[in-house]
Amino acid sequence: MCGFAGLWLPSAPTEQLLEAQAIAMAAALSHRGPDDAGVWCEPQLGLALGHRRLAILDRSAAGHQPMHSAPGRYVIAFNGEIYNHLDLRRELEACGAAPPWRGHSDTETLLAAIEAWGLEPALQRCSGMFALALWDRRERRLQLARDRFGEKPLYWGFSGCGSERALLFGSELAALRAWPGFNNPIHRPALAQLLRFTAIAAPTSIYSGIEQLLPGHLVSIQAPLAGELPQPRPWWCFRQMVSESLAEPFVSEADGLTALEAALSTAVRQQSQADVPFGAFLSGGIDSSLITALLQAQSSRPVRTFTIGFEASGFDEAPHARAVAAHLGTDHCETVLTSAAARELIPRLPRLYSEPFADSSQLPTHLVCREARRSGLTVALSGDGGDELFGGYNRYFWGPRLWNRLAWLPWPLRRALGRAIRSLPPAGWDALARPLPVHHPGHKAHKLAERLAYVRHGDDLYRSLVSEWRDPASLLQTADGDPVREPSSPLDWPLPAELASDQGGATPGQQAARMMAFDSLNYLPNDILTKVDRAAMAASLETRAPFLDHHVAAVAWRLPMAMKIRPGRHGSTSKWALRQLLYRHVPPELIERPKAGFAMPIGLWLRGPLRPWAEDLLDPGAMRRQGFLRPEPIQLLWRQHLSGRFDHTTRLWSVLMWQAWLAEWG
């Protein structure tokens, strides 16, 4: 895991200046790569690459970047891991295309594969997570590429003016901002998208003129650098993978479980390769417990596992993780974090996330990564991707069922029902639902009530469930009075034809499949993977997600929905297939409990110790002067939240994270 940055400035006056600017951009990413730094220039063209290295495979100088291919044609700056690189080496050797190996890094393997087959065919052979910048010295062509699911970030675009206009690219916006001529203004539509999703969806970024490269895409930029950039194109397509998988469903559950176990075991084996201490995050839930169990089954000694506990018992899953670790026989490490330590981190979040980001689980995620790094780990396996691929979120089963039961109600009756639900504060619903295995039922009931009045069909319901502000553009100040239009997001893209249109009476299973596909295209890369990448890299920790191996994903989409969400007498069972595999290693009684999520009592803190910090950021006069958000609707929600009758934590957090980011970077 590393970080890289680059610039293409055709009018660069000297090689020394070009190199200095690339070094400064890469230095902004030092947290991503504390072990080594490198720079390379093509001064005649004004191109430079800078790199910061977190050494995982081949910690010697043979892994230094930017790296040249053996014949010297290609130069690469690479961030990530190619898990099957040893298989690629054997394939290259078998066909006589292997160079004399200088070391055993996956970057060297990738360069040799590109020399032999070209960039796109090489990437299609790779299992891994990555972003890269590749310079072809013979063709004078720069290529940028990103992995299939978007585990690793890549920003790119023009900045500067006139003859000083440059193409910038890098792993984080902090690197692009470090270029002295950076002058891109705030992109207001991206702010509206942040308020809706709590994250900004690729290809948009918070700056006009700067984009995020979409997952599974690459772009080729030919010298001489022109005024208009070419459009990226896909080298791998999620929709095509889904279509091909749905066309070949498993005939029997036994076949499906066998194929899933084989794919996951292979992914875990490949992703456990490292020349540094590695282990696994273990929350005691299904996903992390299964990854840990498969990792321990392949290891001749106890695997290192890590979890953190919290002071607030309602948020503490450490005892469950401890029980699973004891059963599996892992070398388990547990650290209890205080509320004071968590609150101390909050003002620093905008620096950790160099683009505004507002999923409040960013806080415990970074604390877990930080403590794991302090305990000696450099690489940790995680269970990310399990929910999106195997039906883990509650909305997948209660959303379609609820909509199918309520869709026949006329809009006035649905609106009245929503008002009735909201007449009882969240604490009241929590009290009524206390005997039920539901986490925070009051907040969920109010969230549902707000959406009953305006959804028209199942896709509408899904969009509303993942939207925090229903009309975020209405919160924005505009200079000319014209409304701000939100940018397109993956929720606006067509899904594979095999996932029946939601407009024509899709079954609950088909609706759930559509939700899972939308989450894989939007929520997973733009929220979950962004959160984990920034949280881990801020601690110089590499995280790996075996569920996101593309072979595992293909198997997951071949499973019938009943192997993911299984209806039962007492409600639906999520992630059924994963449970069956896990029960081969861990007794069900250690796993079966309500899904608690990964959260902290931020809503309570906003009414207590965080209130001065929040009120300073939400000051109406300051917000008017900044010129981005209208303070009136935000102040209304703030007063309601302070009253204790309503819980507006998520919506307020998106505003607070924007305001804090603006104070840090604006």
Catalytic residues: 2
Residue 314: its H or E element? none
The answer to whether the beta carbons of residues 28 and 178 sit under 8 Å apart is yes
Neighbours of 17 (CB within 10 A): 15
The answer to whether the beta carbons of residues 491 and 463 sit under 8 Å apart is yes
Residue 380: its H or E element? strand 379-381
Residue 56: CB partners within 8 Å, gap ≥ 6?
1, 81, 274, 275, 276, 378, 379, 542
Q: Write the Ramachandran bin of 33: left for phi over 0, alpha for psi from -120 to 50, otherwise beta.
A: beta
Q: Which tokens sit at 534? A: 């920034």
- Amino acid at site 285: G
C-alpha 66/C-alpha 50 separation (Å) is 7
DSSP labels for 35-87?
Answer: SEEEEEEETTTTEEEEEEE---S--SGGG-SSEE-TTSSEEEEEEEEETTHHH
C-alpha 583/C-alpha 233 separation (Å) is 42
> What number of CA atoms fall less than 13 Å from residue 110's CA on the CB side?
32
The answer to whether the beta carbons of residues 452 and 415 sit under 8 Å apart is yes
Give the end-to-end CA distance of the chain in Å, rounded to a whole number.
28
- Exposed (0-12), middle (13-18) or buried (19+): which is 404, by Cβ within 10 Å? middle
Q: Write the Ramachandran bin of 326: left for phi over 0, alpha for psi from -120 to 50, otherwise beta.
A: alpha
Closest CA to 564 of 498, 510, 503, 495: 510
C-alpha 197/C-alpha 184 separation (Å) is 23
Query: Would you say how long the chain is, in residues?
Result: 666
Query: Hey, is 293 helix, strand or coil?
Result: helix
Neighbours of 494 (CB within 10 A): 8
